[in-house]
A = this chain, B = another copy of it.
Amino acid sequence: MARQTKQPRPRAERPKGFRDYFGTEVTARAKMLRVIAEIYHRHGFDPLDTSAVETLDALGTYLPDVDRPNAGVFAWQEEEGTWLALRYDMTAPLARVAAQFRNDLPNPYRRFTMGPVWRNEKPGPGRFRQFYQCDADTVGAASMAADAEMCAMLADTLEAVGIPRGDYIVRVNNRKVLNGVMEAAGIGGGDTYDAVLRQIDKFDKVGEAGVRDLLGKGRLDASGAFIDGAGLGEEQIAFVIGFLQASDCDTEGIDATRGTTRTDGVLSSLRTLIGNSKVGAEGIAELETIAELLAAQGYGEDQIVIDTSVVRGLGYYTGPVYEATLTFNITDEQGHRRQFGSIAGGGRYDDLVRRFTGQEVPATGMSIGVDRLLAALQSRGKHNDPAHGPVIVTVMDRNRMADYQAMAATLRRAGIRAEVYLGNPKSFGNQLKYADKRQSPVAIIQGSDEATRGVVQIKDLILGAQIAQNATLKEWRAQPAQREVPLSDLAGAVRALLDRHG
């Protein structure tokens, strides 16, 4: 390591693509994660916290973004040769744990986990190299009930954190049905399969015409670069497009009253598309089971719906795939109105543990993009605590620091957030500026005169700010936002004032 390069002054900068979270950003996230953890826990999931570092071997090469093969992991080599790396998702470490502790863990193993993951990508606007994920997985359950439960829990979770019904939709599809359609269309496996998967994952972005080009000869993208197509023939393309549109799902216009009729219609179109494909028929039966289980538990098509346009880019999914989309519109950075979009997703992956043990272990799970969900809640005015800062006890006489500390202690014992100003107390203006920056609701003032009389001044900074915006000089001088109380009434008076401001 090149540690000895002497630079007299390092730059006070975080590396590109990383970020810092301050104050209420941290508490809002923690609050949301507590709500999610409570839901997962009540569904019988146990928490798991693996370390950030795994061997590169154990992580494998399941990087999700097939479009950017250069997108990678942060990795380094140990002195004795082993390559270590930061985890890029929560699924690879789970597969390692499930294999390493297979004799000790309950089977099925239901776990949830929350924490940062790292991607060694080129940083860009809104694209970060460390971000939070919150995952739930069931390892060792082949039953479609495990997949249905994931979809149900996703709906429950979104409602619990504050996304009302109608503002989200959980969309379910099945890889086996796609495989069946491709079989019926005579589309080969391997590279072609991967290419088709990659292209139809762009359906939301480039639309039907775009996907037609990408499945065929290719197309020019927005930057003018030519993107090679998957090389399918016209008839094959028709099969794939038919599949993507089988549910023709307008997520904003789902009509719950249509009940299972809609599901029946979708399944019937799919049956035509797959022809005699055995795997396709399996996939349709799986979709049907999931739909039945969810309907029996009272989940409506305004919450969870079959949507054949959902593919999920990851190569490792083997059966059901699901995705939660937020359906309300936001204004993006470029000023365009658009749907908020995908917030969570997952699916069944039966092969991940086999990498280690040679035995196939059925598993299904989902991942919530924590930062995106938090942004969504904030755009809806949720989890935006007004977040007053602490009460500031000002310092009028630096020799009486112990008295001021005692006042702060009194307030804290009454459950009130409080602190003594600890900067240089020479300028009282600086102390009030500090209180302002902290968004303090109240400042406490006690000079020698007040100390002699056993009283304190309580300055209502919220009211003060309101007056400052509207008041005349005369009104300002009257200072109605400040009043004197006996020292013994300090906590009660501050509490009353805070309650008044809510």
Contacts and interface: CB of A to CB of B under 8 A. Distances in A.
Contacts of A42: 412, 415-418
A257 to B, nearest CB: 21
Q: By DSSP majority rule, is chain A's interface helix, strand, loop, or mixed?
A: mixed
A83 B13 CA distance: 13
Nearest to A33: B30
Interface stretch (A234-242, A259-267, A397-405, A468-476): A397-405
Contact of A57 (B10, B37, B46): B10
A330 interface: no
A346 to B, nearest CB: 15
Nearest to A97: B20
Contacts of A479: none
Given A53-B130, A142-B424, A296-B403, A99 B47 contact: no
Contacts of A11: 55, 57-58, 356
A382 interface: no
A48 to B, nearest CB: 6
A206 interface: no
Interface residues of A, number: 107
A148 B23 CA distance: 24
Contacts of A46: 22-23
B53 A15 contact: yes
Contact of A100 (B12, B99, B402, B424): B12
Contacts of A26: 47-49
Contact of A297 (B27, B149, B389, B409): B409
Contact of A76 (B21, B74, B401): B74
Q: Which 10 A-B pairs have the closest CB atoms?
A: A44-B419, A296-B402, A12-B99, A44-B390, A141-B422, A26-B47, A10-B57, A76-B76, A12-B356, A18-B51
